[in-house]
Structure 1
Amino acid sequence: MKLKSHLAIAFVISVICIVGFSLMSLLISDHKIVHFDTIVIGAVQGMESPTLTSVMKFFTFIGSAPFVIVMSIVILFFLYKVLQHRVELILFIVTIIGSAGLNGLLKHLFHRIRPNLHRLIDVGGYSFPSGHAMNAFSVYVIITFLLWRHIPRKWGRTLLILFSFFMILAIGVSRIYLGVHYPSDIVGGYFASGFWLTAAIWTFQFYKERRNKLRHYSN
């Protein structure tokens, strides 16, 4: 029964993410999201200041591939040595690598050129979906998922969720502020990563429950 409820939840989330990403890509292809992008970019970049620029560069660095790789190694070490959860290592690795691979595939499928309105940093590559958005969503959601069961207090779990939400949002906004992504790139990245995470986590839960059943029957 537990597996069926997980399957139902995963299916609903997957459908929402697929529909959201598909809608976003269609709006981009038909140039019907230009107004939304322009308004959000204007609002975000309208807050520009030297201090805020430094803060946004910091958050965009946190969402970069080099930082994510280093942070992933630290997390893997933590899971392996402290929590002694070896199976979770596979989930974490598959989630992060799969998200990066999916991002590269989607970027080359859509070939969206980056905005060139008011850039504060120079980057190359295509724009949609945002790799930083997908990195942030994948890393912080999977961290929340893996640590959730090991935090006994409700306030601790609440802080974990708020921290992850803040980091995902801050990294996404930093890309808009620095002028290297459209807001629709960020939203599309969240949807794409959400679909991948749902599939990875459900597969992990399915494996664990099947393994527990086999152990129960063997005993």
Structure 2
Amino acid sequence: MMRANENARGRLSWKVAHRAIPFALLLLAAAALFHFSVEVGEGDTLAWDQAFLLSLRHADDVALPLGPAWITTAMVNFTSLGGVTVLLFITLTTIGLLLISRRPVEALFLCVALVGGWLSSNTLKLWAARPRPDVVTHLVAVGDASFPSGHAMVSAATYLALAIVACRFLRAPAQKAYVFVIAGSLIGTIGLSRIYLGVHYPTDVLFGWCAGSLWTFGSWLLFRRFLPSQA
């Protein structure tokens, strides 16, 4: 009887630790991101940021990006996929499908991922108040602060959430891996487009990627507790 009680306590302790470890890792990641944002705010990364942007432009004309003209066109197209209008449309249509399919928890998760990512991004922009890059010419119009990249952060939060929900309907590991590869490629390209177009420093985008992903993973850790083990 005593041995059975000890085994039960051991299983309970492992279950608690298993649930606590992901949240502890998220807190560590959040602390690292905060330290990174302080470094950026103090200007420690500015020289590297500017050098990277200049490396993507012709030395004799900072308004002219490297590569053929079609690359600029492609980057403008990709950057639009990270805009709030596109993300809102994709998210709302998916939420509608989930509600029709009687999947309210997944629908609410998508809503939290998008809205929370957008609100967090704008709050951080107001807090950091980092000016946009001025060492190269902007190839698209911008109007708010630079840090973090809203396109990088909100697209990471939203497309990652969409990938997580999509995998709820898939069984094969290869299918799930494919979904995450596509989502990661899209998130990465959107962020890189903001750098190529000269409207964000690399650290703006890097922070946005990390913060958006962190927000969605944290949200998922909470929401998955209300879902059945299988779709």
Q: TM-score range by the shorter chain?
A: 0.7 to 0.9
Q: Kindly report which structure 2 residues correspond to 1:1-219, keeping only aligned pairs within 5 A, or say none.
A: 4-16=17-29, 18-45=30-57, 47-81=66-100, 83-116=101-134, 117-208=136-227
Q: Cα distance 1:169–1:2, how it changes in 2: closer, same or farther (>3 A)?
A: farther
- 1:185 CA drift (Å): 0.5
- 1:136 CA drift (Å): 1.1
Deviation track 1:65-97 (CA, whole Å, cap 9, x = no partner) reads 11111111121122223x431211111111111
| 2:192 alignment partner, SS class | helix
- 1:158 CA drift (Å): 1.6
Distance 1:66 1:2 in 2: 41
- 1:161 CA drift (Å): 1.1
CA RMSD of aligned residues (A): 2.0
TM-score w.r.t. the length of structure 2 is: 0.82
Distance 1:3 1:95 in 2: 26
Residues 80, 89 of structure 1: 8 Å contact kept: yes
Deviation track 1:38-77 (CA, whole Å, cap 9, x = no partner) reads 3432344553431001110011101001111111112112
TM-score w.r.t. the length of structure 1 is: 0.86
| 1:119 alignment partner, SS class | coil
| 2:217 alignment partner, SS class | helix
Deviation track 1:95-147 (CA, whole Å, cap 9, x = no partner) reads 11111111111111111111122211121010111110111111111112112
Residues 41, 130 of structure 2: 8 Å contact kept: no
The structure richer in helix per residue is: 1
Q: Residue 110 of structure 1 aligns to which amino acid in structure 2?
A: A
Structure 2 gaps, min length 5 = 1-13, 58-64
Residues 56, 66 of structure 2: 8 Å contact kept: yes
Distance 2:83 2:224 in 1: 29
| 1:8 alignment partner, SS class | helix
Residues 14, 195 of structure 1: 8 Å contact kept: no
Distance 2:226 2:177 in 1: 27
Residues 105, 226 of structure 2: 8 Å contact kept: no
Residues 26, 218 of structure 2: 8 Å contact kept: no
Q: Cα distance 1:108–1:14, how it changes in 2: closer, same or farther (>3 A)?
A: same
Rg larger in structure: 2
- 1:177 CA drift (Å): 0.6
